[in-house]
Structure 1
Amino acid sequence: MAGLSDDQKHRIAAVLAAGPIIPVISLHRTADALPLADALLEAGIRVLEITLRTPQALPAIELLSKRLPAEVRVGAGTVTDPAAYRQAESAGARFVVSPGITPRLLDYGLTANAPLLPGVATVSELMLGYELGYRSFKFFPAAVSGGIKALQAFSGPFPDVSFCPTGGIRQNTACEYLALDNVLAVGGTWLTPESRVSAGDWAGIARLAKESLASCRGQADRP
């Protein structure tokens, strides 16, 4: 089987480069999707990962892909098998993120319309994706899988691999991850707290996102 194409590699790398902070969003009301996206866009966020953890996820992805096709890259997270991958693509997801890897998922991602950011926690998992041509990975769960020190260690044998760590990252630690040369973006739930989303506190979410981006501006703007 042929490996991942250069086009697929460039497309997922472009998603990460458009970060550098990617909110990981679980929605319980489809009606919250548009005002939440507007608040994050106002703050300067251009990439959203909507996790397939709730029934509202796919309708929200479809809504945002139709209403804000040029303004934001909307992707699907927590994709665990090809069937969910196909559903995400049908809904209009621009990219797909998995919490881990399986051979079927990696194989499907090779020719999928939406590029895959496969999740890994170990070097062995990374090597399975690397063998197929993947060069961008989600590092998950970052905080309990070695965090910054693990990513620094990965850079030795895999200098051409880039990461988006998620899992246990907060506003005060995001900048430390972004300071690493092999980290293009970070993802986290801290940008969209469930309490603020349920209350419709879009102004508060926008402030939080602006603060997060401003605090990491030095790392985000590095060449």
Structure 2
Amino acid sequence: MRTVLRKHNNRFRERLATGRVVAILRADDPSWFADAGQVLYEAGLGVLEVDLATPGALDAIGVLQAELGQDALIGAGGVRTVAAVDRCAAAGVDFIATTVFSPDVLWRAREYALPIVCGALTPTEVDAAWRYGPAAVKLHPAATAGGARYLEEVQAALPEVPLVPAGGVELSDVDAYLAAGALAVGVGSPLFGDALDGGRLDELGKRASQLAATADRYA
């Protein structure tokens, strides 16, 4: 199992290292997720995280996987319980993500050899989370903690830990986070605008293309 998990984690990190962006989807209704996901994928953003707070999140993940194919990675975010890990694994998600450090969730993900981006904030939490073998650690909420400068300080203390900042990240912040050493950056509402509520997909496409161009400089 360890060998399988290591293989899955390495493959996931390699994908993050080439894409550099995790697009985080959350809405009261996932009806527009497939259309928005297609726009992102065509713009070059192929790693999507659907927050479990979205009604029907796992069904939406299945639709995105079917629409975008195997080149895209579609995961579940906001995972906080062992039962949620079980549901995610049964649904066939590509990865899971948390916003908090939960040993029970980490252990269960390991049992499924499922890549997990584990949430943590302080250097102590980041170090503790990394010892459980996640694919990466989500630095959350990154903006509140001090943004790219804070990430740089944490990365200097724990250089072996791949960090994915998220939480309050603006599009204009992504370049600084990547320059500071982030493996990838999680971006939500500033990227989507009103596109997940039936708004303008063409504007989403423009933002996604600009973000992909920024990420490409670090790929």
**Under a length normalisation based on structure 2, what TM-score does the superposition of the two structures give?**
0.89
Q: How far apart are 1:91 and its partner, in Å?
A: 2.1
Matched, 1:133 2:133: yes
Task: Calculate the aligned-residue CA RMSD, in Å.
Answer: 2.1
Q: What is the identity, as a one-letter code, of the residue corresponding to 2:80? A: T
Q: What is the identity, as a one-letter code, of the residue corresponding to 1:151? A: L
**How many Å separate the matches in 2 of 1:88 and 1:5?**
16
Q: How far apart are 1:135 and its partner, in Å?
A: 5.9
* TM-aligned CA distance change 1:118 to 1:4, over 3 Å: farther
Matched, 1:69 2:69: yes
SS at match of 1:155: helix
**How many Å separate the matches in 2 of 1:3 and 1:141?**
31
- Comparing 41-50 with 145-154, greater Cα deviation is found at 145-154
Which structure dedicates a bigger proportion of its chain to helix?
Answer: 2
Q: How far apart are 1:10 and its partner, in Å?
A: 0.8
Q: How far apart are 1:127 and its partner, in Å?
A: 2.0
**How many Å separate the matches in 2 of 1:216 and 1:208?**
12
* TM-aligned CA distance change 1:110 to 1:141, over 3 Å: same
Q: Equivalent residue for 1:104? A: 104
Structure 2 portions without partners, runs of 5+: none
For the 8 Å contact 1:4–1:110, the answer to whether it is kept is no
Matched, 1:196 2:192: no
For the 8 Å contact 1:4–1:134, the answer to whether it is kept is no
Structure 1 vs Structure 2: percent identity of aligned residues?
A: 27
Q: How far apart are 1:46 and its partner, in Å?
A: 0.8
Q: What is the identity, as a one-letter code, of the residue corresponding to 2:153? A: A
**How many Å separate the matches in 1 of 2:135 and 2:21?**
19
SS at match of 1:114: coil
Matched, 1:51 2:70: no
**How many Å separate the matches in 2 of 1:215 and 1:12?**
20
**Under a length normalisation based on structure 1, what TM-score does the superposition of the two structures give?**
0.88
Q: What is the CA deviation profile of residues 144-201 of structure 1, one whole-angstrom value per residue up to 9, with x for unaligned ones?
A: 12322222222233221111100111111110001123x11101111112x2321342
Structure 1 portions without partners, runs of 5+: none
**How many Å separate the matches in 2 of 1:85 and 1:209?**
29
Matched, 1:208 2:207: yes
For the 8 Å contact 1:20–1:185, the answer to whether it is kept is yes
Count of equivalent residues: 217
**How many Å separate the matches in 1 of 2:122 and 2:29?**
35
